[in-house]
Chain A
């Protein structure tokens, strides 16, 4: 029987010719990523070795990445202590894929991994972050795990007892209309699948819209596959994957490019006509509460967040800058911008996007997770509403359970910043795309 992309990849990584759905596998791990929660992983890792005669050495320091992004620079002595502990561990273990708080190589983990060519097609990537799914955009089987699970990976170099998942095939055809972007596509998909619709499954993206989509957009849709419950969201690698890795990530060595079998068996196939999509809004307090923008337009917004691992790439910032250039963020609304990495920050400096955003009244913050999970900057007041290009709108997410978070694309965020209320960018008539 034919195998899906995930089945083939996991079989290969497990040293088997076949992997049927439900088979219990122990694939080798090609990349294991953690951020500040690496402090807990270190703890659990040392506990594994406690009382044994073995020296606590990670299985392969070149396959471990540690990236500071959740609280940069540290907001408390506790966080600073966690970061210090990780720095010491990294030095002791000889881990070189380490991105400290720096204005050259720093950034959000899910941007750094692709940007530096750490992720390749065919890899098994695990991360102590639920949005590790992002890396499926480059043809990896990438998924989130907890800290104890990661400690086990650091010890053994493989992930124990994984069941090969069934796959939902999503086929997207048609060209996006003006002001409609990959974020709108994935919000629409989550609305259709529901927050648990893809639980314990992989999503595989196909169709001409995906083939024509730059890696930037693929990272957005795979990032948010998590919000339908998917274990992984994957774009099987193609010419664009190779272009990105060669030209943007500087990868020179051979790539393992393969696709699903032509007779692969999928649990379900969903078709989406991109040409019929409108800008979408995920309303409070679940990501699957998705509505076409017309049903949410006019809602007053006090804080707009542009950026994050979902939509903080250069093209995202440029879409917003183009809309905001020569205009002004409405009084009573604050626009916070979080580029996904410092490399992107530099690019947006050179392209003029940062200048246009700041001149319009935006506050450009340093790359990092920022307000997305309510731990660092940009908390909300009681009764306030935020509109964000991030990936979650759970109650309390932006630091206050008495506030609301709406999710949208960068174009909607920028258009709404001008009016101070949720606004359809198509109404602005500025060639907003």
Chain B
């Protein structure tokens, strides 16, 4: 994977209300949700909407990223901007949603990164090239691997559906 720049650094327990505020929940389609990503962070949302954040840029977060509501918009709005989320860990439903729709993310329990740092991300580790430190990546839940391999839950479910007798 190529080098990625950290464009936003966040702490622990970033809720889906921060990622995708509840008042925009009537908007559901993945094509329409990206405009409301981090809507209450005017500066970052403005950069996203102005296309000033290159695809593949990183949000570095602490523990329990995406805790709270089950709203899938929180994952789809980030995917729409092709962001990569590197967090110490994720909230359960967000993690599952992200895998189901194919949001690029890495569980990295020890990650230390500041805005502007360049990260080199692979399946096994995240190297912060700015600080020179390397951090092990944790595997995604093994139960979900088949979904990842199929390219997301929709194609995976479709495969299972087609293998059922009518």
Q: Which residues of A contact B (CB under 8 A)?
A: 24, 36-37, 39-40, 43-44, 47-49, 52, 54, 70-71, 76, 78-79, 82, 127-130, 132, 144-149, 151-152, 155-156, 160-163, 195-196, 199-200, 229, 231, 286, 373-375, 392, 394-397, 399, 401
Contact of A375 with B23 at beta-carbon distance under 8 Å, contacts A130-B70, A130-B93 already known: yes
| Cβ contact within 8 Å between B63 and A196 | yes
- In the complex, what residues of B have CB within 8 A of residue A70's CB? 25
Known: A149-B100, A373-B25, A392-B17. 7 other contacts (CB 8 A): A36-B25, A149-B96, A152-B100, A229-B64, A229-B67, A395-B15, A396-B18
State how many angstroms separate the Cβ of A234 from the closest Cβ of chain B.
16
Q: 25 A-B Cβ contacts within 8 A?
A: A24-B142, A37-B25, A40-B28, A48-B157, A54-B161, A70-B25, A132-B70, A146-B70, A146-B71, A147-B28, A148-B101, A149-B100, A152-B156, A152-B157, A160-B153, A195-B13, A196-B63, A196-B64, A196-B89, A229-B91, A374-B17, A374-B21, A374-B22, A396-B21, A401-B21
| Cβ contact within 8 Å between B153 and A149 | yes
Contact of A155 with B161 at beta-carbon distance under 8 Å, contacts A146-B100, A196-B63, A373-B69 already known: yes
| Cβ contact within 8 Å between B17 and A231 | no
- In the complex, what residues of B have CB within 8 A of residue A130's CB? 68-70, 93
- In the complex, what residues of B have CB within 8 A of residue A146's CB? 70-72, 75, 93, 96-97, 100
- In the complex, what residues of B have CB within 8 A of residue A37's CB? 25, 28, 70-72
Q: Mark B114-148, 1 if CB is under 8 A from A, else 0.
A: 00000000000000000000000000011110110
| Cβ contact within 8 Å between B67 and A195 | yes
- In the complex, what residues of B have CB within 8 A of residue A195's CB? 13, 64, 67
Interface residues of B in 74-109 (CB under 8 A from A): 75, 89, 91-93, 96-97, 100-101
Q: Say if the beta carbon of B29 comes within 8 Å of chain A.
A: yes
| Cβ contact within 8 Å between A48 and B158 | yes
From B70, B152, B156, B164, name the one whose CB has the most chain A CB atoms within 10 angstroms.
B70
| Cβ contact within 8 Å between B28 and A82 | yes
- In the complex, what residues of A have CB within 8 A of residue B89's CB? 196, 199
| Cβ contact within 8 Å between B26 and A79 | yes
- In the complex, what residues of B have CB within 8 A of residue A397's CB? 17, 22
Contact of A286 with B13 at beta-carbon distance under 8 Å, contacts A39-B28, A52-B158, A149-B96 already known: yes
Q: Say if the beta carbon of B52 comes within 8 Å of chain A.
A: no
State how many angstroms separate the Cβ of A146 from the closest Cβ of chain B.
4
| Cβ contact within 8 Å between A152 and B72 | no
State how many angstroms separate the Cβ of B12 from the closest Cβ of chain A.
8
- In the complex, what residues of A have CB within 8 A of residue B153's CB? 148-149, 151-152, 160
- In the complex, what residues of B have CB within 8 A of residue A40's CB? 28-29, 72
Residue of B nearest to A79 (CB): B26
Q: Which residues of B contact A (CB under 8 A)?
A: 12-13, 15, 17-18, 21-23, 25-29, 40, 63-64, 67-72, 75, 89, 91-93, 96-97, 100-101, 141-144, 146-147, 152-154, 156-158, 160-162, 164, 166
- In the complex, what residues of A have CB within 8 A of residue B13's CB? 195-196, 286
| Cβ contact within 8 Å between A375 and B161 | no
Contact of A144 with B64 at beta-carbon distance under 8 Å, contacts A47-B154, A156-B160, A373-B69 already known: no
| Cβ contact within 8 Å between B154 and A196 | no
* Bound form: Cα–Cα A162–B70 in Å: 16
* Bound form: Cα–Cα A78–B28 in Å: 10
* Bound form: Cα–Cα A76–B96 in Å: 30
State how many angstroms separate the Cβ of A291 from the closest Cβ of chain B.
17
Q: Which 3 A-B pairs have the closest CB atoms?
A: A146-B97, A373-B22, A40-B28
State how many angstroms separate the Cβ of A28 from the closest Cβ of chain B.
14
| Cβ contact within 8 Å between B101 and A52 | no
* Bound form: Cα–Cα A79–B23 in Å: 11
- In the complex, what residues of B have CB within 8 A of residue A286's CB? 13
* Bound form: Cα–Cα A82–B25 in Å: 11
State how many angstroms separate the Cβ of A318 from the closest Cβ of chain B.
29
- In the complex, what residues of B have CB within 8 A of residue A144's CB? 70, 93
- In the complex, what residues of B have CB within 8 A of residue A156's CB? 157, 160-161, 164
Residue of A nearest to B141 (CB): A163
- In the complex, what residues of B have CB within 8 A of residue A375's CB? 22-23, 25-26
In-complex Cβ contact of A162 among B69, B71, B143 (8 A): B143
